[in-house]
Structure formats: C-alpha cells, structure tokens
Amino acid sequence: MNNLYSKKCLLFGLFAFLILTNCEDQNVQQNTPPNVQSQINDNKQLIEKTGPIPGEYIVVFKEYQERDAREKAVNNLLAQTALEAVNQTLLKYNVKEQDVLSRYGHALRGFVARLSEEQVKELQEDSDIAFVEQNRVFNGLAGFAIPKESKNRSKSMMSQTTPWGVSRVDGHLIDGTGHKAWVIDTGIDLDHSDLNVDVSNSAAFTESTPNDLNGHGTHVAGIIAAKDNSIDVVGVASGATVVAIKSLNKDGLGTIQSVLDGINYVANNASISDVINMSLGVENGSSSIDIAVTNAANSGLDFVVAAGNDEANANNYSPARVNHYNVHTVSAFRQGDEFAQTFDITTPNCNPLNFPDVGSNYGSSTVDYSAPGESILSLWKNNGTLTTCGTSMAAPHIAGILLVNSSTFALDGTVSNDPDGTSDDIMVAKLEPPVLSHSVYNQSPKLTWNSTYGATSYKIYRRFENGSWSLIATTTSNTYIGSLVNPNLQAVTSPPFNYQDTYSYRVLAKNGSGDESRYSDTKYFTVSGCSGPGCGS
C-alpha cells in the first residue's frame, strides 16, 4: 500500500466491494476523459481515508450457546446475558464509558471501544475473549463513479419498465406484498414514489439519517421491491416493504463497526420470514463480520450477499465467504446467461473509470447462485432511476425471490464460462403453492386453499394408500369437495401406518401462461367401510 500512487493505483470495488485494480498511472492520465479523471482524483482522496482506526478495537467474546431459529425468547436471553458479560468486562479492564462505541448482544457477544495497547494485550489473554480485531474504514464505492449530472440518471419515468433481470428470474410470478427486506447499504431514498419504505424501523449507523445520499442502496432496494404501479420499474418482489439500514455513508465509506451495528440491529429487529441484503463487503475479510452474520443466520434470518467485483475468489471477502445454509452468496451474469467475468464497459455507468478488468467474483466453495448483474435498470436517489452493473445488483434479485419463495424457488440452468470451473446455478421464482386446509363436510372430504398470486386455476391430485397420484379435477375455485361419502371419514394430520384406507390430496396453482407452482403440502383422510378408489373421489 506504500506505493499506492507511484506507478500503480489501487481502486476499491464497485457497489460496496473493495476492488483492487492495477492500472498504469500514465495511461490513465492520457486516456481518461477530464470528468472521469476528476472522479479518479476524488477516489484517491477517499482511499487515503481508509485503513485502520488508531486505538479502536472490536472485542469478540467466545460463543457458549448457539442461537436458536425457533426460540426468540432464548435469543433475547442470550443477548441480555451477553450484554451483562460485556459490562463486566468493561469494568474489569477499566474501559471508560466515553470510550465505549458499541455494545453487541444479538449478532455477536462483544463491544467496540477505544483501548490502550495494554488493554488490548490483556483482553487477548482473557480466556473468555475469542479475538480482538482493529476497527478500520473501508471504501466500498471508490470505483463507482456516477457523474453528478449523469445523462443516464433520470427522474421518475412516465411509464413502467420491467428490467431484463426481473424478467429473467420470473419476478412476474410472485408478489412481495406483506414481505419485508432489510437493506444494509448506503440507505434508501425514503420518499421514493416507487418504494414502500418502513421509515420507522430504518436506522443510520453512519451520518444522521437513513436517507440515501449516494444512490447505491436505493438501486438495490428497487431491484428487490419496486412497486408494480405503472411508473419507473418493477422489482422482483414488487410491493415488498424495504427497511433502510445505513452502514455506508454518501461516499461509500464505512467501518467494521458501522457494519456490525447494522447487523446487530437487524438481528434484534427482523423476523425469521424477512430477508437481509448485503451488497457490500470487506476485502481480506473481517472475522467479526463473519461471526455476526453467522450468528444472525443461526437465529433463522436469511442473508443474501454480493460476491464482489474483483474477478477474484470470493473466499477473500466478508461476508461473502461465510458458509451457512442461510447465507447466499451471489455472482453476476449478463444477458445470455454468460458469467460476467469482465463487465461490459459500454454499459452506462457500469465501469465509468474505463478499467476493463473489473468483473464478478467467483468461487465454487463460496458462491451459491448467480443472478443478472449487467445493464441493470433500477431506482436511484432523489426519486430517480439509473442503469448500472455489478454483483451488488445480482444479489437483490436473489433476495427478492427468497423473500417470497424461501423454499419454493426453482433452478433454471447454469451460467456459462464460470472461471472456477463449476457453473453457478440460476435461481428463478415460481408461483407460490396454495396453502391447503382440509376438513370433513357432510361426510365428504373438503379442501380449501388461499388464492395464489397470478394463478388462474388449480389442479387437484389424489392417491389411495401408497398408489400413484392422479389428477382428479381442475377448478378456478378455492374449494373442492370430493364425492366420497362415509360416516367414518376423518381428516388427519398424518397418515396411518402403511397408509391403510387413506386418501391423500394435494393441489398446485397454474397461471394463464402455463406456469405451475410446486405442490401444496399433502393432506390426509382416513376411511372405513370403503374397499378402494371406486368409493369415490
């Protein structure tokens, strides 16, 4: 880093990822337009502000009990116990209150404080302390240059556009109404006419307001949840509620502490049905961020994380490298399902610094899915829209799908030319399956289900005992009553042993284009005095 500007420049990553790009300084001066060269100079000034913060440290305690996704009360008790341990430790090592910057009990057990070298050494030797990590500033957006008067940025569009990425992941099949996504980023435009923002739960851990002064967080939120309302764009989970968690400031600067503050806040306030999007990360990793995300994921929260844009292995970035079933790391592909190993510099605002060697990170052991990440149109600050690219744009496509299809999504092929040799899966949305209920009505089986978004009909399937499933009816109704009549008919929650004298039912939804949902849960009826399928349907 000492030779940062002698012959080569280090530029940190597009869209909340630290990117390292080597470029000959002389060539940059000769080939770069004046307005872009001005942005490079601004980036150099921002980079100079990054690095370790003298005297500030994150102290992380050892974990003695894992968070439980089913027990909110248990997790709250763990948090309370953790905070008590934090306070006792602060007293033990004589850390003054004015030097305590943050206390954590939900996402991790620990604190951030200004500490002397002697205090750091003593804490590192404490058997209850897992590790001590120095706080530092990272610049997530130094390479992301949007000219102040960009021709590609527009105010609210007169008519609605469906971006190609939303179409590719079949966002039209799902509705985000009633779902909530938490966006840990640069904030969100709280007044954007194409978003439902939960302002009351939004929070800022840098600057004074969660309102987006950069634009990146608003772009991410729009991909997830822009309304289907005839203006601007439509998101994957259109109409979902988004919560702004500002951990990066207007210049894209953040600290390990500001990210931990955001994760800890979400871990305390989000519901298990929510999804958290993190289109940001730290190159060379942060153990405290990794642990915070892991603990929050253990409590049942789903995280979607951008892989990064350095054409490098995502295993070198936090939290992209976190390996957990509730943490989904996402690479980017372009139209045609080709891995975006190098982003197309002709795309507006995609690579405004004209460095062609910027593309999606990869990693067969870290990346879970790939999603659209080039030429992505979405919302922007000041009630605007903008087209750009990056894995920051890929991740929210997956977040939108998981918000509605947490367990019912589909896979639709893989990307081509994945540099790690293992082609990433492409996740797409599906019609939500009906939620099925069953009861006995006039001694006959009765099925009822909710209306599935976009469905025009429902198909009812039945099987007797352990036989084959058969389609027995198609209806536009939300109710089905079978013709079987038996005074001893019972609706049961689980089949009897060996399924003897048992009828099983399930339902799927279908739309006008022929798309079908997965099957609903199976419901069971037991009968007596009936010898087989001829008894009725």
Nearest to 74 by CA among 102, 105, 111, 110: 105
Which one-letter DSSP state was computed for residue 398? H
Q: Are 207 and 177 in contact (CB under 8 A)?
A: no
d(CA 468, CA 448): 22
Q: Are 478 and 450 in contact (CB under 8 A)?
A: yes
The position carrying tokens 């390996």 is 323
Q: Give CB contacts under 8 A, 24+ apart, made by 71-76.
A: 75/106, 75/299
Q: 492: which strand partners?
A: 524
Token readout for 473 is 């009816």
Q: What residues are annotated to the active site?
A: 185, 216, 392
C-alpha torsion angle, residues 106, 112, 117, 122 (rounded to 10):
-20
d(CA 55, CA 535): 79
The CA–CA distances, whole Å, from 62 to 95, 110, 223 equal 19, 9, 37
Handedness of CA 81, 84, 86, 89 (dihedral sign): negative
User: Got the DSSP string for 7-51?
Assistant: TB---PPTTTS------BHHHHHHHS-HHHHHHHHHHHHHHTT-E
- Tell me the CB-side half-sphere exposure of residue 199, using CA atoms within 13 A: 8
d(CA 127, CA 104): 19
d(CA 167, CA 323): 29
